[in-house]
């Protein structure tokens, strides 16, 4: 049985404006520029704000310069311009003849890694079916130069895509041919195979090459774990011979595909700082980087159009009503976007000023040891904003200082209490760890227990597992993996 009832609920929902502000707040400077360009293209009501005074001054300056040039020059350009020297079409709006030859200037661009492999396959003069198999294998080679797909699966791929029945033996034969292409090591299934392919092209008349090949072939696991004593006993070789063989292995390229450099196609990450910090007369001046962020405004044309439609009142046609609704929606959208940009700027400055107050000593000198322990909650409490807002501001944002460009996340770190009760940043402890490991004897690397004792001597009473955690955060391997002969 159906029945009606009333129910009262309290819900939290974000308005479209709030969602827009949140999305803009997450964007770094480069993506914000692209977002503004996209909005300008999609919304005809939104336009760039022009400085009318500056434009008028520039026009007046140009007119003045033209008059002065005309008065000072004994001859003008018109004196040297003979109408007979130029065809009439040169003075028309469409000032190019159909007989004019317009030649595009070509530019050079290198081939991609896969195109480079395919060109070598063409030189191998394979038949049609083998060429298709070779292209299938090359298509499955990643940018590092490794074949990540099993031959068994590729047999099915060829059958479905090209209606060719083949087997793993045929694909293996083509793969062997591809592994002979340049760069050396391409087409391997794993690191061991790639290094062995590269070594196979070297001079096996040299003793260190033969030992290096045997190490990869017979004791690859011991090599990766740096169990050099086991390798010496297995092959009955001296330490000098082992060192020479390891040097040959370390000269090889673990990512053969990366050796194919293509500067034109290589994407480089561009960092544009969101904040600029300058020190003038011992005073810190913080500003937003607004270099490529234009001032936005509502188009007067559409604003007047909306006013004109409204003045018609009830006498509007259906088309005029539709036009009124369209213009009103676009104007509201433009206002929301402009307000969201302004709110983004205010929030960014509020958070960055709070961060500047917390880390004032660091920004004055640029010394990492001056960094104070600071977490997102500290800035949230100081500004009155939510922690999620602080997180969005600090993510993918950078500040330019007189001693370098830093991500905002760099200034956040946990606290650690020393024996004397002083609270220090964990970044300071990591800096000490990095220095100790950098100065260690590589033949006898410092273990985590020894690092913990060193830190205790300096007043940092932390456990060995904490040392291991900080070492891993610094991307430093364990002592055994840092060992060198």
Question: Residue 268: helix, strand or coil by DSSP?
Answer: coil
- 304-to-45, 308, 329, 334, 336 alpha-carbon distances in Å: 11, 6, 15, 15, 19
Residues contacting 269, CB < 8 A, separation 6+: none
For the residues of 121-172, what is the DSSP string, one character each?
A: HHHTT--HHHHHHHHHHHHTB-TTSBB-S-HHHHHHHHHHHH-----HHHHH
CA distance 435 to 413: 19
- Contact 416/423 with Cβ under 8 angstroms? yes
Helix (H) or strand (E) holding 463: none
- Contact 459/420 with Cβ under 8 angstroms? yes
- Residue pLDDT tens, the chain, 485 long: 677 888 777 766 666 667 777 888 888 888 888 888 888 888 888 888 765 444 444 444 454 444 444 444 444 444 444 444 444 444 444 444 545 444 444 444 456 888 889 899 988 888 999 999 999 999 999 988 999 899 999 999 999 988 889 999 999 999 999 999 988 999 999 999 999 999 999 988 899 999 999 999 999 999 988 888 899 999 999 989 998 999 999 899 999 988 665 444 444 567 888 889 888 888 888 888 877 677 888 888 878 877 776 766 666 677 777 877 888 888 888 888 888 888 888 888 999 999 999 888 888 888 777 788 888 888 999 889 888 888 888 888 888 988 888 888 888 877 776 666 666 777 778 888 888 888 888 888 888 888 888 888 888 888 888 888 888 888 888 887 787 77
Kindly compute the dihedral angle of the four CA atoms of residues 241, 245, 251, 252, in this order, to the nearest 10 degrees.
180
**CA dihedral over 323, 325, 331, 337, signed as positive or negative:** negative
Domains of the chain in sequence order: 113-259 (no CATH), 275-411 (no CATH), 415-482 (1.10.10.60)
């Amino acid at each position: 049985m159906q029945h009606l009832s009333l129910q009262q609920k309290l819900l939290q929902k974000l308005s479209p404006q709030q969602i827009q502000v949140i999305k803009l707040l997450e964007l770094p400077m480069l993506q914000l520029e692209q977002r503004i360009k996209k909005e300008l293209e999609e919304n005809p009501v939104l336009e760039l704000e022009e400085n009318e005074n500056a434009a008028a001054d520039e026009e007046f300056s140009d007119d003045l310069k033209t008059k002065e040039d005309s008065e000072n020059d004994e001859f003008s350009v018109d004196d040297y311009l003979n109408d007979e020297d130029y065809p009439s079409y040169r003075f028309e709006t469409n000032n190019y003849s159909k007989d004019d030859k317009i030649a595009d200037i070509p530019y050079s661009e290198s081939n991609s890694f896969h195109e480079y492999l395919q060109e070598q396959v063409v030189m191998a003069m394979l038949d049609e079916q083998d060429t298709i198999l070779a292209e299938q294998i090359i298509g499955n080679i990643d940018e590092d130069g490794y074949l990540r797909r099993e031959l068994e699966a590729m047999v099915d791929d060829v059958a479905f895509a090209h209606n060719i029945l083949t087997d793993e033996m045929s694909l293996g034969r083509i793969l062997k041919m591809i592994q002979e292409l340049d760069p050396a090591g391409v087409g391997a299934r794993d690191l061991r195979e790639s290094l062995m392919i590269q070594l196979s092209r070297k001079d096996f008349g040299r003793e260190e090459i033969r030992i290096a090949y045997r190490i990869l072939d017979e004791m690859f696991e011991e090599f990766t774990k740096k169990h050099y004593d086991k390798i010496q006993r297995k092959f009955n070789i001296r330490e000098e011979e082992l060192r020479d063989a390891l040097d040959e292995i370390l000269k090889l390229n673990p990512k053969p595909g990366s050796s194919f450099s293509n500067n034109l196609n290589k994407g480089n990450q561009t960092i544009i700082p969101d904040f600029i910090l300058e020190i003038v007369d011992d005073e810190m001046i913080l500003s937003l980087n607004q270099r490529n962020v234009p001032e936005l405004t509502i188009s007067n044309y559409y604003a007047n159009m909306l006013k004109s439609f409204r003045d018609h009142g009830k006498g509007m046609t259906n088309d005029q009503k539709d036009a009124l609704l369209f213009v009103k929606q676009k104007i509201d959208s433009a206002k929301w976007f402009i307000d969201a940009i302004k709110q983004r700027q205010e929030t960014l400055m509020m958070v960055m000023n709070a961060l500047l107050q917390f880390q004032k000593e660091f920004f004055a000198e640029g010394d990492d040891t001056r960094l104070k322990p600071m977490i997102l909650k500290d800035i949230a409490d100081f500004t009155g904003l939510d922690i999620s807002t602080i997180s969005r501001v600090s993510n993918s944002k950078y500040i330019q200082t007189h001693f370098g460009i830093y991500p905002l996340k760099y200034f956040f770190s946990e606290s650690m209490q020393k024996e004397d009760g002083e609270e220090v940043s964990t970044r300071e402890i990591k800096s000490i760890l990095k220095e100790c490991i950098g100065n260690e004897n590589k033949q006898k690397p410092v273990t985590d227990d020894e690092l913990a004792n060193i830190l205790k001597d300096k007043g940092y009473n932390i456990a060995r597992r904490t040392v291991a955690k900080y070492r891993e955060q610094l991307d430093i391997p364990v002592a055994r993996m840092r060992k060198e002969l």
